[in-house]
Amino acid sequence: MQPRIGVLALQGDFAAHRKALERAGARPCEVRNAADLEGVDGLVIPGGESTTMLKLLDVEDLFQPLAEFGKRKPIFGTCAGAILLAKEVLNPAQRSLGLLDLTVERNAYGRQIDSRIARIDLGGQPAEAVFIRAPIIRRVGSGAKILAEYAGTPVLVEQGKHLVATFHPELGSDDSVHRRFLEKVQRGYTENK
């Protein structure tokens, strides 16, 4: 059975995530309010601007429902989504969902002009990673696992049912990161059905 994956559609390139999820074998849907979380097996929080996302989550009264959802079901955050999922945020400090034991520094690779496409190793396979005003993961807690690095810093990390990437896997042609997230969702889906 194809898992139904919500994509937070308040800001960011949620359309690219929908396409990547479809290619990976999911049934994506857009999540714009708390009611949209019903019947969703997992959620993607896309890149964008994390402080703007926080404001929009407050406007839509979605912050607490997302925190509760994350206690029960998998969430995959990319770039700003990774910031929102981290336990601690720097530069400047801001609140977050705190679902992964990570410390993340916002915009740590530099400004927009410093954005880049880099090659990383994903499970022994070369992959393209698109960094756009990307955060850097400065600390990884003992319960989290580093899956990929770039320039000596973690760029893909999982902890339990959750996954974060500081790059934008939805902008490349390799869907392996989205497939990995779907595997997490399907493990939980089959365990709970």
Residue 67 is encoded by which pair of tokens? 């925190």
Return all residues near 116 (Cβ < 8 A) that are at least 6 apart: 109, 130, 131
Residue in the structure block whose two tokens are 């994956």: 5
Plot region of 61 (φ>0 → left; ψ -120 to 50 → alpha; else → beta): left
Give me 120's structure tokens: 């990383």
Catalytically active residues, by annotation: 79, 168, 170
Residues pairing with 141 in the sheet:
none
Match 């973690």 to its residue by tokens.
154
